[in-house]
Structure formats: C-alpha cells, structure tokens
Amino acid sequence: MAGIAYEQALANLRKSDYASPPELTDKQSLLKKYHPDYQEGSTQKLVVGANKGDACPTTLAKLLQSNAPITDADLAGALVINTEVLVVGAGGAGCAAALEVSAAGRKVILATKLRIGDSNTVMAEGGIQAAVGEDDSPQTHYTDTLKAGHLCADKKLVAQLAISAPKTIRWLIEQGMSFDREDTSSLSSKLLRKKPGGATRARILSFKDYTGVEMMRVLREAVELDERIIVWNRCPLVELLSDEDGNCVGGVVYDLSTHRFMLVRASKVILATGGTGRLHLNNFPTSNHYGATADGMVLAYRIGAKLREIDSYQYHPTGVAWPSFRLGGLISEAARSAGAYLVNGEGKRFIDELLPRDIVSSAILRECAEGRGVEREGKVGVFLDVPDLERRNPGILKDRLVSLSHLGKQCDIDLTKEPVMVRPTLHYQNGGVVIDENGMTTVPNLYCVGEMSGGIHGRNRMMGNALQEIITFGRRAGEHAALTANQYPAPKVGLFHLYNWQRELILSNVPTDVYGPILFPEYGNFDFHKEISLRTRTKHSVKSNNDSH
C-alpha cells in the first residue's frame, strides 16, 4: 500500500485551508467496502457450542473451539479453597464487582492474571458518558447509544446503562475520583462536559485525557484497603468448574509464581477478564493491554454460555501509524473531541471527525487504500493535525491532553510543530457473552461483565460507554451475586462439562490438539499446555525415581 511521501504530505498540510470535509451520503457502503469486519475471508462458521453456525473471526474461532489444556489428573492433589463469590479479572469491572460483594458481607476472592489494575481500563483515556447536563437526559443517552450501535444492542441493557450513569458518577466521586470542572479554580464548579463522536449532546466527563488511569487508581485503592477482599495477583483462571447438571460452581486457578493449581469452589463466579485485542484480528496492531487474549469468553463458551455479535469489533480511528515501535498505540478521541482535524496526504479533511468510530476508521482506511494517505518509512496513515489544535487552543496539550503530550515525546515528535500519523488500531470487542441486566449469563451461577460481555453496544461502541459499562454492570453483578450466593459451595464439583465438550469436538471433526485459553499472546513465548505437560512429566519422573529407592 503506497501513499503520498511524508515530506510532500507535510508541505500539503501546511498549505491547507481546513475546509469542511465532504458530506458522507452512504455510510453503509463505506463500512462494507473498508471496515475490517466486512472483509472477505476474515470469518468462519462455528461448528460446535451454543453459537454453532454463527460467523466468527477465524483467529477467535480457533480458540472458542479449542480443547481444555487440563484434565482431572492435573488437578490431583491441588489445593481446594471455598468462597462464596469468585471474581476473575481485576480491571474496572472486576474491582467494582468485588467491592459490592464485600459491601454485602460476602466472602470474595479476586483473582487476576497479571496484577490488580493491569487492564484496558487504564488505557481508556477519553472519558465516561453520563447524562448529567441540563440539556441532556438518560433517554437521549439511550437513543444515541442505540443509533451508534446500528440498532443491534439489547434495549434493556442500554436502558440500564443510561439510567444508571449519573448514579455511577456519584459513586465514583464518593470513592475519590476526580473529574475536570468548567472552572478549574473551583471544586463547586459544574463538571466539564465534552461531546463524543456519534452523540447529540455533550456528556463525556473526564479527567484530562487519562480518565481510565484515574478511575483505576481509586478502585485499586478501595480494593486494597478492603480487608474482606482476598486478592490473588498472577493467578489466571484456566478452566471453570461445573456440577453434574452443568451449573458453574467455581474455577481452576493457576498460580504463575508457584506453578500450582488451586480449585476454588464458589457459589457464584463473575468473569471480568476483558477483550480479545491481543489476538490481533485481521493482523491489525492493537491498543489493548498484554493480557487481552479472550480467556474468559473461551471458558464461558466451553461451559455453555451463549454469545452475540462476535463478528463485530471496533477499530479505533487514531492508533499510532508511525514510528513502528509505537504502532497501534492509542490516541484518545479526546483530541478529536477538542477539535483536532484528520487530514490526508493531499492536505484535505476527508471525514467529519466526530462521526461514529466505525465510520471514521473506514474513511481513514479508504484514504490509505486509494493512495491519499501519508507514507513514511513504509507505514501509511493520515495526519492528526495536533499543531493546528494547539494554535487554536494555546496550552491545550499541557492542560487537557497530557497523555497525548507524553506520547509525542515517546515518538520523538514535537506535537506543537509536527502532526502525528494515525491509522485504525484494534481497540474493542463490541459483542461477547449474552447477559441480562445483572450480568447473568445463560449458564446458572455464571456472570460476565466488562468488555467480554455483549449486547450493550450493538455493532459499534460510543466513546465513554466502556468506562460507564464496567462500573454499572460490574456493580450490578456484584450486588446480585452477593444477594443470591449460597454460604455453602456445591458438594460435588469437577470438570463435568468438558466430557460433553470433547465429545462434540470429536463428532464435529474439530482438532483436539488445539488448546485454550492461551493466557498470553503468541509472541510472549508462553505455551500453557506445554508448561502443564512438562510439569506433569516432571512430577511423574520424581515419583518414579522415589519408587526406585
């Protein structure tokens, strides 16, 4: 793919009059021709499980139809721990859920693959949506969200999101979270509101351009100060536990530090393990954190949970296109919301920057495909004209776009003088596990919240609804699980669901030597199944040597 040479594109940009972009008259044609979700050969039909026959990205389908990496033999002698609620994933959704379980006086274990706070939550920069303005309402928030998602979302979930949003903001403030104010010198000033792409009202609330970091700060502190919440870092979930009726009754956790399994028997299990960005669907770079490898969705599907919109992903318009070592890094929509223009190699604006993200991303990919992009050292993108934004709003980089300023330094770009090259980056999983208003799945006792859940965003997500979703539904799942949890775990737990699953794989001619979850991306050089096999062989070898004596 070729574009206009960088120096020539830069000269064109500096002569630009920033005329309004042409009006887009056929959004659907643009999406179908250029959005990665619609590209031929990018999906395949699932042949096993609750979504048999549905289209799914090929890379994800391989994992959803994978075999379990463990057997009953691997769990022999494993430590057995009882709790009332097991929460898996310590990003925003998992922490919110654990806090509510604890507040209700229930026993809760919070297990996470990396460390508490290592999640996409901290990478959400732009802000959180809530209808708190006098010119706004939950009804308008609801309508905007449905339209942005192409009318495919679950209306009950969208209504719950919009209605709960103001209450969520109050709760976050009570936890100690800071938000930008209209008057920076007064704490009694109204919250500053910005307009997200695809919205009819200004309802984004933010803290500079690192809102997710601020949110995760207060949630992490609240969890760490809560003595009732037991936190297990570096302890990923590798399988769910079931009873003979197929109900979820706990999970198998693997301690990466000690290389040992732990069987957690729990009345309720809340999965908040995040999305799939590190699978690099369609070979795109990603803005996601290192652990976003679809673990929870793989395990939920294997035990029988229904999924929805699993062929729909969000490619954020403004990922870094150059330099290569920052490829895919996120540039928040806060910059475009503040007025930064997207400009092609000819020095022309080509799309309304605040249209929904899937439209803007498709327009950028069109410019690149048709030769109007900017080419530099083999990378092709378009310009995000930050210097022009700074000229029109002196000090905005220092005061409001702090993360963008840091990114410029990392890329060795003076953003007051030089634009940044951008191109869409794999950002968000629009669909996921089917849930109700309390986060309950189609499998008894199993909840899913956060990015791994589906139905809230339809086929496209609006800026700011992700941070709102993780708190609203994380809290609701925690409250409901605490209310309905049984003090005593199921008397008989095991891997009962795996027997039917493996039989279905064999009958459908699906390879049984593909294992999931993978826990880390392929380039992480970590093969969990090989590690378990090595561990088992070592254990048997030691036993054999002892027997010989």
User: Hey, which residues are catalytic here?
Assistant: 357
**What letter represents residue 539's amino acid?**
K
522: tokens are 């392929």
CA distance 128 to 330: 17
**What letter represents residue 202's amino acid?**
A
List the one residue out of 461, 155, 145, 520 whose CA is nearest residue 317.
Answer: 461
DSSP-derived 3-state class of residue 286: strand
Strand 307-308 and strand 108-111: the pairing is: unpaired
CA distance 409 to 407: 5
CA distance 357 to 463: 8
Could you tell me where the DSSP H helices lie in 265-400?
Answer: 295-303, 334-338, 357-369, 386-392, 396-399
Q: How far, CA to CA in Å, does 387 sit from each of 369, 396, 512?
A: 26, 10, 54
Non-local (6+) Cβ contacts of 475 within 8 A are 96, 97, 99, 100, 168, 171
Non-local (6+) Cβ contacts of 188 within 8 A are none
Non-local (6+) Cβ contacts of 541 within 8 A are none
**What letter represents residue 197's amino acid?**
G
Non-local (6+) Cβ contacts of 169 within 8 A are 128, 130, 132, 179, 191, 205
CA distance 179 to 215: 10
Could you tell me where the DSSP H helices lie in 370-518?
Answer: 386-392, 396-399, 402-410, 465-484, 496-507
Strand 4-5 and strand 43-45: the pairing is: unpaired
DSSP-derived 3-state class of residue 81: strand
Give the angle 66-473-130 at the CA atoms, nearest 5°.
Answer: 130
Strand 446-448 and strand 453-454: the pairing is: unpaired
**8 A C-beta contact, residue 462 and residue 129:** yes
Strand 453-454 and strand 432-434: the pairing is: parallel
94: tokens are 């998992």
Question: Taking the CB of residue 7, how many other CB atoms lie within 10 A of it?
Answer: 10
